[in-house]
Structure 1
């Protein structure tokens, strides 16, 4: 029997909650993680109509990109759409889970989906995050070093970009004296011992540190395992905001924007003036991405596709880049398909439904 916590564990192994922005509220917002899953409805936003759709489909879990609860609720009396939506979900025993900026910030997340749709290649995170990695250093008897390293790799350590099982090792001499209460693997109580050891250093995603240390203790031969953790300031090239890549061939700016309008099903593209005959390098950010404009310019993007630019912010293009605002909903609407892909790879015993409710609050004439 699949429970809601199984869905959560899977999604958060891909997009850990630690990757969400400080202002965000991703995670399980309504319901019990111990409830069995009867069906899932996937949506961009949660509204009363979406909850009604879940009721009709007999889906007791809604997975949304945008959290219905962003600010603290002091009451749930139905005085606004947020409270009415939450109240309706609770009354019908429907859980609500949000996977927002943590899904935005992974390398194969929301921005990768947009970039792939519009045909970008050679993709990289536009603004990589710092403070998401640590370095683990430990010591092993020489004959056990390979087993210890393999255990660390299996737990998620040692991945750097397109490379796995990355580690640095150096040999030296370890020394210790077990006391009366010790049960040493090597040596005798109350007698100093020297052992040929290997120092092992690996990079670990911070959110995996507990799992990696548990694995280290499980595979290491010593009763007491010596290790230490170092915070590192390296930017994590697989976690961060936005994405940048290149088109296969150069294309005129207006032709490209027309393609984007068609592919992304956009009612209107607000953009700054075309400054080049041909463009090739494009940056994207689903949702509100104006904070990435300076980074897109530094990276040499010809066009920056995002949403929610304010009037005066368009002037910041300064004839160095084309800003293309395609709308918040439009930029993220294919996130539903992304979530469906992530779930369908693992879960097949219940219905995974894409919501047919259009939650875009904006209409175009």
Structure 2
């Protein structure tokens, strides 16, 4: 099993261009052609996790959080980040992180939280812009269906729960083949008028190369006329946080006990109950205070996330209840999600969950 096969699968599930600007997801150490003997999955990459990989004969560690967020100028082992990188390189252990790109996926980190809480009709809380483009091309009617099918097969035409979406309008194209041309219709040196179909379809930006290859391969013309437009539309299946409905509304105290049980947490920091029952719930794994206004605007009764600062709790302003369950605690089931993603695709690969505790926060009761 080559590392590049695993990377291809992970990045098809959670494309790297879905990550936030500050993030550093992807391959951190190692090389694509490396033969993989086994995989350790963890939320964080620590020395103890790399040691575990070495001891168990695994040479790939996949984590949610990147061990490196910004550039390193020296490798002297003076801190845990440098020590992890040095140990991984010395022992030929590849490190891969799948962080905010997995956070952004509809079937990613937040979907797991929604599943644990049994939230119904869950959707993305803050859909991500800049992830869609539109292709416009022009084709003779007789070849239009074949071309559309090729574009759909390459990944174009999906809008929400609908696939193979396109708009088609008739028109007339004109062209004149100059010297050294071999026109599909018409004659060299004579202006030609041809009935054509204008085909419009959308596609994810990371699929652009594949879409263009399909267009050029299946279009009958020697020179293919096409336009690509960047869209301001938000992709409703990718973005930050999620929101959904509990099966039954709950009193605030019952809701907090429910969250403690389902999310396996020992303590919850929260704002005062608003006085209304909890039914609509927003969630965000990890640091989610930046989504508070989105949760309020969406009509959430409660917002489950982590890392709220003292003064940020005031911003709830009695409009919803913030339930801060802790960063590690909100993302602890992400490793199980990664195990599932990998084992379904690579059932014969040695994949194991770390036995090491990587939560840096302890609680005293």
Q: Distance in 2 between matches of 1:256 and 1:278?
A: 9
Name the structure 2 match of 1:327: 326
Aligned match of 1:40: 39
1:65 alignment counterpart? 64
Deviations 1:39-58 (A, max 9, x none): 11111000000001111221
After TM superposition, the structure 1 = structure 2 runs for residues 61-210 of structure 1, keeping only pairs within 5 Å, are 61-210=60-209
1:56 is aligned to 2:55 = yes
TM-score, scaled to structure 2: 0.98
Can you list the C-alpha shifts for 1:73-121, whole angstroms capped at 9, x where unaligned? 1111111000111111111100000000000001111011111111101
Q: Secondary structure at the match of 2:121?
A: strand
Structure 2 counterpart of 1:288: 287
The alpha-carbon deviation at position 290 of structure 1 amounts to 0.2
Aligned 1:208-357 pairs, distance under 5 A: 208-357=207-356
- Residue 276 (structure 1) shift: 2.9
Secondary structure at the residue paired with 1:90?
helix
Partner Cα separation in structure 1 for residue 120 and residue 340 of structure 2: 20
Secondary structure of the equivalent of 1:150? helix
Is the Cα contact below 8 Å between 2:125 and 2:241 reproduced in 1? yes
Deviation for aligned residue 1:360: 0.1
State the shift of 1:277 in Å. Answer: 4.3
**Residue deviations 1:277-317 (CA, integer Å, cap 9, x gap):** 42100000000000000110000000000000011111111
**What is the TM-score of this pair, normalised by structure 1?**
0.98
Matching residue of 1:21: 20
- Post-superposition Cα deviations, 1:9-64, rounded to whole Å, max 9, x if no partner, equal 11111111111000000010011111011111111000000001111221111111
- 2: CA distance between counterparts of 1:182 and 1:289? 58
3-state DSSP class of the match of 1:345?
helix
CA contact (8 A) 2:343 2:349 kept: no
CA–CA distance in 1 between the matches of 2:312 and 2:4?
42
**Paired positions, count:** 364
Per-residue displacement from partner, 1:179-200 (whole Å, max 9, x unpaired)?
1211222222112222111000
Q: Counterparts of 1:336 and 1:20 in 2: how far apart (Å)?
A: 18
Gapped regions of structure 1 (runs ≥ 5): none
Supply the distance in 2 between the matched residues of 1:277 and 1:142 (Cα, whole angstroms): 59
Shift of 1:216: 0.7
For 2:262 and 2:91, locate their aligned partners in 1 and report how far apart those are by CA, in whole Å: 37
Secondary structure of residue in 1 paired with 2:41: strand
- Pairwise CA distance, 1:332: 0.4
Q: Any runs of at least 4 consecutive aligned residues in structure 1 with deviations exceeding 2 A, and if so which?
A: none
How far is the alpha carbon of 1:349 from its aligned partner?
2.5
